[in-house]
């Protein structure tokens, strides 16, 4: 007796290039995370500013790979990428300015 398939689903072979790209991004994220742990446990607390700069840099690298590959932004049109990046730069600038100038209120209130 022969069975007929009526589902219409066709199983396709696994695309090795997509699998390799996911593995590559996962390995990069894992290496960056391992480096973050290495920095956290090896650089003494006396170099707090250096540690913060390194952590921010590594976080930006991880965010780039997550946004580019898993959110598929690397495969979009360049104008869409710029429409996301330019406002992000201004938001980061605003946060930095507020953090840097935030202590100035105390010099005004308590001279």
What confidence tens digit (pLDDT) does each residue in 29-85 have? 999 999 999 998 998 889 888 998 899 889 988 988 888 887 777 777 788 878 888
How many residues does this entry show for the chain?
111
Global pTM reads 0.61
Report the pLDDT value the prediction gives residue 32, as an integer from 0 to 100.
92
User: Could you read off the pLDDT of 76-92 as tens digits, one per residue?
Assistant: 778 887 888 889 899 98
| CA atoms within 13 Å, Cβ hemisphere of 76 | 14
Yes or no: say if 67 and 73 are a contact pair by the CB < 8 Å rule.
yes
The DSSP call for residue 69 is I
Q: Shortest CA distance to 59 belongs to which of 89, 19, 83, 29?
A: 29
**Tokens 């913060």 -> residue:** 52
Map out the domains of the chain as residue ranges.
17-75, 76-111
Question: What DSSP element (H or E) covers 73?
Answer: none
């Amino acid at each position: 007796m022969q069975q007929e398939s009526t589902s219409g689903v066709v199983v396709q072979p696994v695309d090795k290039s997509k699998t390799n790209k996911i593995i590559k991004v996962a390995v990069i994220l894992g290496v960056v995370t391992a480096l973050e742990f290495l920095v956290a446990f090896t650089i003494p607390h006396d170099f707090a500013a250096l540690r913060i700069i390194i952590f921010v840099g590594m976080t930006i690298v991880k965010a780039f790979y997550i946004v580019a590959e898993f959110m598929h932004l690397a495969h979009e049109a360049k104008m869409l990428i710029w429409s996301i990046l330019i406002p992000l730069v201004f938001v980061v600038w605003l946060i930095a300015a507020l953090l840097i100038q935030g202590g100035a209120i105390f010099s005004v209130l308590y001279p």
